Structure 1
Amino acid sequence: MSRWRVACVGLGLVLAAGAARAQVPGPLIEQCAYCHGADGIARDAEVPHLAGQNERYLFNQMLAFKSGKRPHKEMRYLSRLMTTEEIGALAAYYASLPPR
């Protein structure tokens, strides 16, 4: 599958996930909340806040962690366990939260 097709499919999933914000599975939020906070505000200064971030940016960064293009041991492990749909739903969820 070409990169262009993957990007188009991914963007479509992000847009579709925006309508399904309330359908993010609790265990996914709990995994992310450990470092990033359930409200998207990280408690550690070295961990980025996710609340209010651009949805497409969050989605693309998670795909980069999943593929290994963006190195981070914990994020690589967690993202590899997620489907593209789950990543899209998480991106939509955190993008919908009010920023700090």
Structure 2
Amino acid sequence: MTRAIFLAALVSTAPAWAQQVDRDLISGCVPCHGADGIAKFGETPNLAGQNAPYLLNQLRAFHAGKRLHKEMRYMSRHMTEAEMEAIAAYFASLPPR
């Protein structure tokens, strides 16, 4: 958990070009949403530049089963709060396209 808190602090304070996010943390996101936050498929939302609180709330909803999406429920089911915060901060800090 300490590592995830450190990552959240690192991601929220560093400029997008200088961020060093733990690639393992976002590895599950990359196949659909891309490492740059630009979706690979038309029906998948872009995450780059989205509002961090919005992204965090969506992750929480998937995690709790309040927002239904099979793949996102599966991906988020074991995430900690700190990991969700770090992921949201990472994608929010990327430049939108």
Give me the TM-score of the superposition, normalised by structure 1: 0.78
2:10 matched to 1:20?
Answer: yes
Can you list the C-alpha shifts for 1:51-92, whole angstroms capped at 9, x where unaligned?
000000000000000001000011011111211100000000
- Unaligned residue ranges in structure 2 (runs of 5+): 1-6, 12-18
Q: Distance in 1 between the 2:70 and 2:34 partners?
A: 19
2:26 is matched with which residue? 29
Q: Secondary structure at the match of 2:42?
A: coil
* Offset of residue 25 of structure 1: 2.3
Confirm or deny: 8 A CA contact 2:31 2:40 kept in the other structure.
no
Scaled by the length of structure 2, the TM-score of the pair is: 0.80
1:95 aligns with 2:92: yes
1:2-44: per-residue Cα shift (whole Å, max 9, x none)? xxxxxxxxxxxxxx93x32146421121210110000000010
Percent identity of equivalent pairs: 62
1:1-100 correspondence runs (5 A): 17=8, 19-21=9-11, 22=19, 24-100=21-97
Query: Whole-Å Cα distance in 2 between the matches of residues 34 and 44 of structure 1?
Result: 10
Count of aligned pairs: 84
Structure-1 separation of matches of 2:20 and 2:83: 9
